[in-house]
């Protein structure tokens, strides 16, 4: 049973799907529909403007970045997503010389929603996997 005013898991899952579509279409001006003004990211008070900047920088570093949800679990107001990336970063990524090679890696992110907007994100990216791919490709 939901507390009064609480949003159901299905609605949160739908909002998140629309958020990923917004990112994949690079519709930065729509980001405020999905992300709150006072959003926090890994404990830092990014705010919507800082959050947008982070995404724009990610896309600059990885022009073919596509956000694909591999696994999703929701218990309102928390949504967790395993994102699976398959991309070719232009230069360095996480300080590693990827230089246009194709790499695959995961990100595990938890989001807290207020209404249908994301207010807090906890994210861990599998950098060790990127490092392994750069090293193993480099030694071919």
User: Which residues are at the interface with a copy of itself (CB under 8 A)?
Assistant: 9, 13, 71-75, 78-80, 82, 106-110, 122-128
Nearer to a copy of itself, 28 or 110 (CB): 110
For residue 116, the minimal CB distance to a copy of itself (Å) is 16
Nearer to a copy of itself, 49 or 128 (CB): 128
Nearer to a copy of itself, 26 or 86 (CB): 86
For residue 28, the minimal CB distance to a copy of itself (Å) is 26
Q: Is the dihedral of CA 91, 97, 98, 104 positive or negative?
A: negative
Strands 117-125 vs 96-97: parallel, antiparallel or unpaired:
unpaired
CA 116 – CA 100 distance, rounded (Å): 36
Residue 54: C-alpha distances to residues 16, 48, 51, 73, 119 (Å): 18, 10, 5, 24, 15
For residue 123, the minimal CB distance to a copy of itself (Å) is 8
């Amino acid at each position: 049973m939901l507390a009064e005013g609480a949003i159901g898991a299905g609605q949160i899952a739908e909002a998140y799907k629309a958020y990923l579509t917004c990112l994949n279409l690079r519709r930065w001006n729509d980001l405020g529909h999905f992300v709150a003004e006072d959003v926090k990211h890994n404990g830092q008070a990014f705010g919507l403007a800082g959050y947008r900047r982070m995404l724009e920088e990610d896309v600059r570093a990885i022009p073919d970045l596509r956000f694909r949800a591999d696994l999703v679990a929701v218990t309102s107001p928390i949504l967790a997503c395993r994102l699976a990336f398959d991309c070719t970063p232009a230069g360095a990524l996480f300080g590693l010389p990827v230089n246009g090679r194709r790499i695959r890696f995961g990100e595990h992110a938890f989001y807290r929603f207020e209404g249908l907007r994301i207010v807090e994100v906890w994210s861990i990216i599998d950098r060790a996997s990127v490092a392994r791919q750069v090293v193993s490709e480099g030694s071919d």
